[in-house]
């Protein structure tokens, strides 16, 4: 089955500023860490550099497990380039750069261990030496609890060895004339070894025949013995391949994702490195679109055989033409080939999406995290389409314009100039959220019906806030800024989801054709049948309107196609009329099928245009709207 999104993308940090996100996971749980907003220095400091904190949050698959917490302890300096890995007990190791020249007199590598509840386990540990160049750390945890953190120094890669208690016990250097990011992965066969990936030269004084490139090198963490540097890919000067590596849980391979020059831009490559003594390495291109730059790849083991690779696509595409986007693809490393097409990760396409990170959460389940103008984003995916029962596959929550408010943090969900869905999981702790611009063509979607005291389908609320938990005082709420009035109306169900829209849009006295219903029936009086097509409800549905008389009108918010412009809407050969992708069979009071409507005119009220239709030759018209 194809990879499917389990939930819409969600804002992990409540819409606050964030950048350089990293993610690591345990079973059914994952932690995000990111750079917080810049702040000016305190007035009692004698330096003028801005600084920021490193923030984190832990999630379970279904909901947030903690609030946002601060990772770093020292607060005088900027914290940047976070990386995170998981220990065998489920806790996390966060490694990052800390400090600037005029405060700590340089930059250190800092580490902090974090428990599954977000609490710090032990002190923040700084590397024993500083320089101006400690950048872009990467980390690996060994089976005995030791850890290795590599970072790019001025001329080489520094590998710090930490004991199981978190103290630095050794410091080794690799490579020459190094620049760009480095990566590290535990050796899949030898417990006291790691493989370090770096960019530079294999000799200290390179000659004309020496190659600047991406290399891998084996390092013995016990005594610092280094194997020979092995070239993966030649690189031009000042080119950063941004390597990201993972050791597979099954077999004896390390898989590396990196950016490589392709002549006119950059491709994302997968380099599979075996340690069975028989197989040979191979490299394949991961991205399908080769125009422009595909950069900043991230990789994780999905199930011991497949990996998930995510990257930043800086080439505008038909599905996201606004700037850089986040894409991902599965690769079967046993077959040495992609497992399905690349797919767009982000739903909101406005602006740039930056810096993806990816982590396996459970068998076949992974999370992709990134940043954009709204904050730190994340989205869960099911690689096989069979893990979550039921998966949310309704187009009302999988369409690009969906925002998820189910996170327990108080969020500000920003509206766009398009029909949009705001999804809330009723059983989750969703906090007190704000939708900044709930328009007349937007819908609120919930996985359980909202409380409706009198069962009339109108959900009223006061004080500007809708209680998602019904009458429960102090429960989860959402404020719908921009809502016309103080009520929502029920517009139907789709694949187990309840759908609500602005109540005032429905004309007074109208009988609305509800999503998921078979249609609507008329009375002996004058009926106004209403279908709110402007909501962009799921298409391909068939409805029936019965008992349609000479005094009745059919009103929609999207015009029915009039091919010859004569005001007469002829039905199809199946005697059904199409309205925005769904079709309607209309039957008169005497049982005869209606085969044509006449267009009576359009009326705009409060920003909504209503299109009015009736039987050919009837005396009713737009006045039926009242």
Between the ranges 126-135, 243-252, 340-349, 384-393, where is the mean pLDDT highest?
243-252
4-391 placed in CATH 2.130.10.10? yes
Which of helix, strand or coil describes residue 64? Answer: strand
Residue 474 has pLDDT above 90, yes or no: no
Token pair for 75: 């607060």
Q: What is the pLDDT of residues 599-620, one digit of tens each?
A: 999 999 999 999 999 999 999 9
What b-and-e string marks burial along 46-76, b requiring 16 or more CB atoms within 10 Å of the CB?
eeebebbbbbbbbbebeebbbebbebbebee
Which of 164, 168, 156 has its CA nearest to residue 196? 156
pLDDT at 146: 97
pLDDT at 253: 96
Instruction: Count CA atoms within 13 Å of residue 244 on its CB side.
Output: 27
Return the minimum-mean-pLDDT range out of 37-46, 250-259, 379-388, 438-447.
37-46
Q: Is the pTM of this model over 0.75?
A: no
Residue 147 has pLDDT above 60, yes or no: yes
pLDDT at 64: 76
Q: What is the pLDDT of residues 174-218, one digit of tens each?
A: 999 999 999 999 999 999 999 999 999 999 999 999 999 999 999
Helix (H) or strand (E) holding 473: none
Q: Are 175 and 229 in contact (CB under 8 A)?
A: yes
Give the residue-averaged pLDDT of 356-375.
90
Helices and strands: H and E segment counts in the chain: 1, 50
Residue 31 has pLDDT above 90, yes or no: yes
Token pair for 579: 């309205």
Greatest CA separation for the chain? 95
Give residues with Cβ within 8 angstroms of 330, minimum separation 6. Answer: 3, 302, 306, 307, 308, 309, 338, 339, 340, 383
Q: Integer distance in angstroms from the first to the last C-alpha of the chain?
A: 51
Q: pLDDT > 90: what percent of the chain?
A: 60
Q: Domain residue spans in the chain?
A: 4-391, 412-505, 511-625
Residue 275 has pLDDT above 90, yes or no: yes
Q: How confident is the prediction for the chain on average, in pLDDT?
A: 88
Instruction: Count CA atoms within 13 Å of residue 157 on its CB side.
Output: 34
380 pLDDT band, cuts 50/70/90, is confident
Q: What is the pLDDT of residues 478-511, one digit of tens each?
A: 999 888 878 999 999 998 889 999 999 999 999 9
Q: What is the pLDDT of residues 223-267, one digit of tens each?
A: 999 999 999 999 999 899 999 999 998 889 999 999 999 877 899
Q: Are 598 and 620 in contact (CB under 8 A)?
A: no
DSSP labels, 224-245: --B---EEEEE--TT-----EE
Residue 101 has pLDDT above 60, yes or no: no
Token pair for 472: 């429960």
Give residues with Cβ within 8 angstroms of 453, minimum separation 6. Answer: none
Instruction: Let me know the angle formed at the C-alpha of 523 by 521 and 527, rounded to the nearest 5 degrees.
Output: 85
pLDDT at 389: 42
Residue 328 has pLDDT above 50, yes or no: yes
Give the residue-averaged pLDDT of 289-314.
92
Question: Any idea which residue has 């693809």 for tokens?
Answer: 329
pLDDT at 388: 46
Give residues with Cβ within 8 angstroms of 591, minimum separation 6. Answer: none
Q: Are 46 and 101 in contact (CB under 8 A)?
A: no
Residue 595 has pLDDT above 60, yes or no: yes
Q: How far apart are CA 586 and CA 529, in angstroms?
A: 11
């Amino acid at each position: 089955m194809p990879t499917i999104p389990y939930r819409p993308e969600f804002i992990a940090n409540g819409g606050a500023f964030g950048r350089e996100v990293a993610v690591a996971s345990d079973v059914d749980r994952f932690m995000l860490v990111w750079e917080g907003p810049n702040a000016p220095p305190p007035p009692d400091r004698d330096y003028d550099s801005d600084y920021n904190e490193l923030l984190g949050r832990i999630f379970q698959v279904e909901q947030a497990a903690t609030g946002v917490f601060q990772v770093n302890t020292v607060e005088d300096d900027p914290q940047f380039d976070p990386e995170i890995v998981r220990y065998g007990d489920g806790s996390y190791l966060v490694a990052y750069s800390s400090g600037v020249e005029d405060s700590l007199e340089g930059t250190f590598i800092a580490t902090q261990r974090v428990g599954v509840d977000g609490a710090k386990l032990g002190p923040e540990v700084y590397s024993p030496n500083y320089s101006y160049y400690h950048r872009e750390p990467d980390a690996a945890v060994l089976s005995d609890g030791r850890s290795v953190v590599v970072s790019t120094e001025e001329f080489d890669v520094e590998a710090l060895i930490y004991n199981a208690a978190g103290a630095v016990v050794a410091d080794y250097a690799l490579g020459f004339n190094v620049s760009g990011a480095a990566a590290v992965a535990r050796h899949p066969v030898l417990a006291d070894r790691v493989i370090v990936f770096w960019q530079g030269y294999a000799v200290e004084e390179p000659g004309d025949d020496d190659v600047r490139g991406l290399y891998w090198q084996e390092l013995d963490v016990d005594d610092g013995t280094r194997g020979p540097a092995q070239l993966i890919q030649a690189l031009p000067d000042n080119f950063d391949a941004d390597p990201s590596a993972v050791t597979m849980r099954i077999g004896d391979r390390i898989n590396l994702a990196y950016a490589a020059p392709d002549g006119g831009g950059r491709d994302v490559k997968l380099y599979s490195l075996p340690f069975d003594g028989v197989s040979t390495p191979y490299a394949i291109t991961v991205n399908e679109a080769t125009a422009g730059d595909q950069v900043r790849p991230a990789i994780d083991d999905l199930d011991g055989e497949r990996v998930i690779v995510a990257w930043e696509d800086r080439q505008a595409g038909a599905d996201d033409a606004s700037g850089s986007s986040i894409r991902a693809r599965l690769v079967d490393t046993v077959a040495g080939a992609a497992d399905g097409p690349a797919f767009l990760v982000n739903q909101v396409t406005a602006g740039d999406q930056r810096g993806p990170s990816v982590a396996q959460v459970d068998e076949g389940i992974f999370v992709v995290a990134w940043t954009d103008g709204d904050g730190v984003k994340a989205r869960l995916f099911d690689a096989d389409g069979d893990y979550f029962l039921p998966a949310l596959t309704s187009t009302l929550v999988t369409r690009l314009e969906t925002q998820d408010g189910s996170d327990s943090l108080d969020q500000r969900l920003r509206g766009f100039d398009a029909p949009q869905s705001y999804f809330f999981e009723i059983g989750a702790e969703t906090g007190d959220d704000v939708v900044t611009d709930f328009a007349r063509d937007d819908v609120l979607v919930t996985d359980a019906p909202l409380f409706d005291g009198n069962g009339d389908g109108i959900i009223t609320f006061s004080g500007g806030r809708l209680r998602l938990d019904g009458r429960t005082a102090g429960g989860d709420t959402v404020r719908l800024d921009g809502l016309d009035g103080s009520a929502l109306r029920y517009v139907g169900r789709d694949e187990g989801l309840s759908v609500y829209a602005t109540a005032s849009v429905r004309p007074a006295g109208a009988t609305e054709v509800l999503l998921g219903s078979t249609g609507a029936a008329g009375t002996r009086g004058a009926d106004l049948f209403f279908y709110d097509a402007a909501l962009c409800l799921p298409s391909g549905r068939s409805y029936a309107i019965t008992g349609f008389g000479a005094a009745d009108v059919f009103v929609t918010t999207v015009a029915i196609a009039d091919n010859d412009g004569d005001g007469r809407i002829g039905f199809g050969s199946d005697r059904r009329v199409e309205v925005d992708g769904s079709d309607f069979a209309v039957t008169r009071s005497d049982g005869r099928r209606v085969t044509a409507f006449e267009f009576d005119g359009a009326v705009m009220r409060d920003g909504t245009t209503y299109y009015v239709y009736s039987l050919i030759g009837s005396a009713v018209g737009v006045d039926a709207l009242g």
